[in-house]
Structure 1
Amino acid sequence: MINSQKSYSIQPFGQLYLVPTPIGNLEDMTFRGVRTLSEVDLIAAEDTRNTQKLLNHFEIKTPQLSFHEHNSRERIPQLIERLKNGESIAQVSDAGMPSISDPGHDLVLACLQEQIAVIPLPGANAGVTGLIASGLAPQPFYFYGFLPRQKKERKEALEQLNQHQETTILYESPHRLKEVLKAMVDVFGTQRQVVLCRELTKKFEEFLRGTLEEALTWANESDIRGEFCLFLEGNKEGSRVTEQDAEWENWSILEHVEQLIANQLSSKEAIKEVAKVRGLKKQEVYHVYHVEND
């Protein structure tokens, strides 16, 4: 039976509010966000020192409790207990939307399991904010966030992203930007369009638009500062990732190849992709498609 949450009806427990915070410019804090942070019993903050600056600016006196990836296993039971006792809690990240690249999602799941209402507030988000000014196609888009730090895992992630026709949104720190752009050139080639956006909503906000080759040249010649959003042009030759792509285990090799061909890949590209995904030799997939298909 489907589970229904009526967010603003009388609740048996306290409520968890997911409150976005500014990504740089404090004027982007909403009236509702300020009121919610003022009215809840507790604020679960990714970095209490950072959040305290926000609270001081808006003269909010609500107490905080640290809640981050290193203490989430310990904190979640504590927060659930307080919610069950009728307290209301706001969860915030350092900047932008909770649950995106922070442990908020695990807290949401724990609340839902205990029938505790989870109430989201709209607000600042770096990815979508930068996307609409990037000049790349804003719809459809694919949000990925931070790439893996290890080279092998990062290359595998980029190869998967190379199948997307949608504009891809990535986050990256300044000290890893050169390395990431080099890895992107290796996978995507030099001519794919990319937009680097740094210091979004702040005084030194900057958009850098060009090819991956031009972006890498800029990075190699620049003193890189600020947090970055990267917007990558979709691969017009790639296949759109659909729910079917996750179901290849249920397909025969022949069906898998034919599905990719139906998604605009050539037979050669489809055979290569099927071999890669299934861990097979290309010759084996070629034989199935060209010989057994006759």
Structure 2
Amino acid sequence: MKEALLYLIPTTLGSTPVDRVLPAHNIRIVSGLRHFIVENIRTARRFLKQCDTKIDIDSLTFYELNEHTDRHHISAYLEPIRRGESVGIISEAGCPAIADPGADVVAIAQGEKIKVVPLVGPSSLLMAVMASGFNGQSFAFHGYLPIDGGERIKMLKRVENRAYSENQTQLFIETPYRNRKLAEEILQHCRAETLLCIAMNISCEDEYIVTKPVKAWRDNLPDMHKKPTVFLIYR
């Protein structure tokens, strides 16, 4: 019997056509699966239709995994694999298990010695590092910074210090509607000479990736409202 696998299926980072960022091999894999673990069923169904217009969406089984999911239920999502059927994990954008709840499923699969297969696809974090001009040999991703203003400023200063003391690129993200506020805090609390890269809508038609010293960004921030953005700082 063919081995049942857990596939990590990257999605597009925006409205980019599937064939621009995903290889044909991914489409073949997706078309052969009948079980998917997803953050949002509606957007996952739309993505699958973009991959293969002939796919019978109603014949598929979806398991929803997001901040509302009871973590005690996650192991059951792998039941198809235990009975010999492969399963795919689909993120809302980019690569599953990177700043994504899919990591919890992967951890269970690894613990059960289920083979995990990551498929090729766009990662906004890696693409931002590639295009920033910053250190690509040593970098740290901090996810979302604290919501509390005082704690967020402390964290900003901490990661900035790491950029200088460890010669390490620092990455973080924010909820898109709060991008502007975070950018303004970086300009207010980081050193004037610290380099800041703002990477927005990566791989999309209106992609924007620009690096400047903090002082050069002052009074010169782009429109970031509701645009998926990666912030990177470096010495």
Partner of 1:34: 27
Q: CA deviation at 1:34?
A: 1.2
The answer on 1:151 being equivalent to 2:149 is yes
Instruction: Give the Cα separation in 1 of the matches to 2:220 and 2:226.
Output: 13
Deviation per residue, 1:225-277 (Å, 9 max, x gap): 4111112113xxxxxxxxxxxxxxxxxxxxxxxxxxxxxxxxxxxxxxxxxxx
Q: CA deviation at 1:182?
A: 3.4
Q: Which has the larger radius of gyration?
A: 1
Instruction: Give the Cα separation in 1 of the matches to 2:219 and 2:78.
Output: 49
Partner of 2:231: 230
The answer on 1:55 being equivalent to 2:48 is yes
CA RMSD of aligned residues (A): 2.4
Structure 1: gaps spanning 5 or more residues: 1-8, 235-294
Q: Which has the higher contact order (CA 8 A, sep 6+)?
A: 2
- Specify which of 63, 66, 76 is matched with residue 65 of structure 1: 63
Q: CA deviation at 1:187?
A: 4.2
> Pairwise mapping of residues 136-175 of structure 1 onto structure 2 (< 5 A)?
136-161=134-159, 162-164=161-163, 165-175=167-177
Partner of 1:215: 217
Instruction: Give the Cα separation in 2 of the matches to 1:90 and 1:66.
Output: 12
Q: Is the 8 A contact 2:38 2:64 kept in 1?
A: yes
Q: Is the 8 A contact 1:148 1:154 kept in 2?
A: yes
Deviation per residue, 1:22-68 (Å, 9 max, x gap): 11222212212211211122111111211222211222335233222
Q: Is the 8 A contact 2:75 2:105 kept in 1?
A: no
Q: CA deviation at 1:216?
A: 4.5
Partner of 2:203: 201
The amino acid across from 2:133 in the alignment is G
TM-score by length of structure 1 reads 0.68
Q: Higher strand fraction: Structure 1 or Structure 2? A: 2
- Specify which of 13, 18, 21 is matched with residue 23 of structure 1: 13
Q: CA deviation at 1:18?
A: 0.9
Indicate the SS of the match to 1:69: coil
> Pairwise mapping of residues 261-272 of structure 1 onto structure 2 (< 5 A)?
none
Q: CA deviation at 1:96?
A: 0.8
Instruction: Give the Cα separation in 2 of the matches to 1:81 and 1:213.
Output: 54
Q: Is the 8 A contact 2:179 2:224 kept in 1?
A: no
The answer on 1:46 being equivalent to 2:39 is yes
Q: Is the 8 A contact 1:50 1:94 kept in 2?
A: yes
Distance 1:80 1:54, change over 3 A: closer
Distance 1:216 1:106, change over 3 A: farther
Indicate the SS of the match to 1:201: coil
Q: Higher helix fraction: Structure 1 or Structure 2? A: 1
The amino acid across from 1:227 in the alignment is P
Deviation per residue, 1:75-108 (Å, 9 max, x gap): 4132133321222110010111111121111111
The amino acid across from 2:9 in the alignment is V
Q: Is the 8 A contact 1:16 1:119 kept in 2?
A: yes
Deviation per residue, 1:159-181 (Å, 9 max, x gap): 33122321222223332223222
Instruction: Give the Cα separation in 2 of the matches to 1:141 and 1:123.
Output: 20
TM-score by length of structure 2 reads 0.83
The range that moved more, 169-178 or 125-134, is 169-178
Q: CA deviation at 1:186?
A: 4.7
Q: Is the 8 A contact 2:194 2:233 kept in 1?
A: yes
Q: Is the 8 A contact 1:181 1:212 kept in 2?
A: no
Percent identity reads: 24
Partner of 1:80: 78
Partner of 1:98: 96
The amino acid across from 2:137 in the alignment is Q
Structure 2: gaps spanning 5 or more residues: none
Indicate the SS of the match to 1:218: coil
Instruction: Give the Cα separation in 1 of the matches to 2:35 and 2:230.
Output: 31
